[in-house]
C-alpha cells in the first residue's frame, strides 16, 4: 500500500452501479469518496451557465480550473442532460488535465474514487482497482428507474439509446478512454444485487489489505 493511505479505484460503464458501490465501499473502510463524474458534470453546468459551448475545449478547461468542490452536491448535476453534457466536455484533453490535480490530492489522503480513468490515468498505482460493468439493457432499466425517481419524463428505449451513445463516446475518445486497467478486477453486476456486488468488491479489497497488513 502507499504508506497508510488506501486508494481504491472503481471504474466502469454508465449506470453499472459503480457509484453506489463506491459509496458503500468507502463507508465500509472509513475512506473519503470522490465521484469524479461530478467534476465533469460541474464543468458542463458552469460552462453552459456562462453561455459557453461544450465543444469549446479551451473555455471548458478555464471553467475546469476554477471548479468549486463545494458545489458538487448540487442535485441538478445528477440529471440525464448533465450526464450527457459531461461526457461531451470530458473528451477535451485540457479539461481532463485541469481536473487531475484535485483528484490526485483527494486520493493521496486515502479514498475511493469512481469514474472512467481512475485505475488507468488518475491513480495508476491504486492499491485496488475494480472495473464494474453490466449488460446495457440492465443498466438502462436501472437508470430509467433512477431518472423517474427524479421526476424526469423518460422511456427505457430513450435511456438505452442515450446509454449506448455515452458508452461509445467514453470508450472511443482519444484521451483516457474508458477501459479496464490491465490489473483491474472485473465485476459484472448484471445479476447481482447491490449487497452482493458490495460483498464481492470487499472480498477483493480484503484480500489486498490482509496481504499487506
Ligand atoms: O459517472 P458519470 O455518469 O457521472 O460521468 C459523466 C461523464 O463524465 C461520463 O460520461 C464521462 C465523464 N467522466 C470521465 O470522462 N472521467 C471520469 N473519471 C468520470 C466521468
Question: Model confidence over 158-209: pLDDT tens digits?
Answer: 999 999 999 999 999 999 999 999 999 999 999 999 999 999 999 999 999 8
Write out the three cell numbers for 155: 422511456
pLDDT bin (cut points 50, 70, 90) of residue 213 is confident
Averaged over 113-134, what is the pLDDT?
Answer: 97
| Residue 2: per-residue pLDDT | 46
- For residue 84, which atom of ligand 1 is closest to its CA? 10
Q: Whose C-alpha lies nearest to ligand 1, atom 14?
A: 116
In this structure, is residue 210 part of a structural domain? Answer: no
Is residue 206 in some structural domain? no
Q: Is the pLDDT of residue 3 over 70?
A: no
**Is the pLDDT higher at 1 or at 105?**
105
What CATH code is carried by the domain that includes residue 84?
A: 3.40.50.300
The count of structural domains within the chain is 1
**pLDDT of res. 1:** 55
Q: At 178, give phi and psi (nearest 5°).
A: -70, 120
Instruction: Please check whether residue 131 is in contact with residue 114, taking contact to mean a CB–CB distance below 8 angstroms.
Output: no
Residue 34 located in a structural domain:
yes
Residue 81 falls inside a structural domain: yes
Q: Is residue 170 part of a domain?
A: yes
Domain that holds residue 12: 7-199
Q: What is the pTM of this model?
A: 0.94
Q: Which three cell numbers stand for residue 144?
A: 430509467
3-class SS at 60?
helix
| In the predicted structure, residue 34 carries a pLDDT above the cut 70 | yes
C-alpha of residue 93 to centroid of ligand 1, in Å: 14
Protein residue whose Cα sits closest to atom 12 of ligand 1: 87
Answer yes or no: is 54 within a domain.
yes
- Judge whether 205 lies within some domain: no
Residue 36: inside a domain = yes
Q: Are 110 and 4 in contact (CB under 8 A)?
A: yes
Amino acid at each position: 500500500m502507499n504508506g497508510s493511505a488506501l486508494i481504491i479505484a472503481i471504474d466502469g460503464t454508465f449506470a453499472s452501479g459503480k457509484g453506489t458501490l463506491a459509496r458503500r465501499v468507502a463507508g465500509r473502510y472509513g475512506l473519503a469518496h470522490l465521484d469524479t463524474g461530478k467534476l465533469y458534470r460541474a464543468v458542463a453546468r458552469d460552462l453552459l451557465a456562462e453561455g459557453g459551448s461544450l465543444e469549446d475545449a479551451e473555455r471548458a478547461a478555464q471553467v475546469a480550473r476554477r471548479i468549486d468542490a463545494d458545489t458538487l452536491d448540487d442535485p441538478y448535476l445528477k440529471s440525464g442532460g448533465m450526464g450527457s453534457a459531461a461526457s461531451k466536455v470530458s473528451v477535451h484533453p485540457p479539461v481532463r488535465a485541469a481536473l487531475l490535480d484535485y483528484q490526485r490530492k483527494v486520493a493521496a489522503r486515502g479514498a475511493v474514487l469512481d469514474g472512467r480513468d481512475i485505475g488507468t490515468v488518475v491513480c495508476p498505482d491504486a492499491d485496488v482497482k475494480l472495473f464494474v460493468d453490466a449488460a446495457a439493457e440492465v443498466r438502462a432499466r436501472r437508470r430509467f428507474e433512477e431518472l423517474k425517481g427524479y421526476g424526469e419524463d423518460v422511456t427505457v428505449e430513450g435511456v438505452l439509446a442515450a446509454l449506448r451513445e455515452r458508452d461509445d463516446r467514453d470508450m472511443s475518445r482519444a484521451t483516457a478512454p474508458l477501459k479496464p486497467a490491465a490489473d483491474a478486477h472485473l465485476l459484472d453486476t448484471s445479476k447481482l444485487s447491490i449487497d452482493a456486488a458490495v460483498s464481492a468488491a470487499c472480498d477483493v479489497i480484503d484480500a489486498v489489505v490482509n496481504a499487506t497488513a
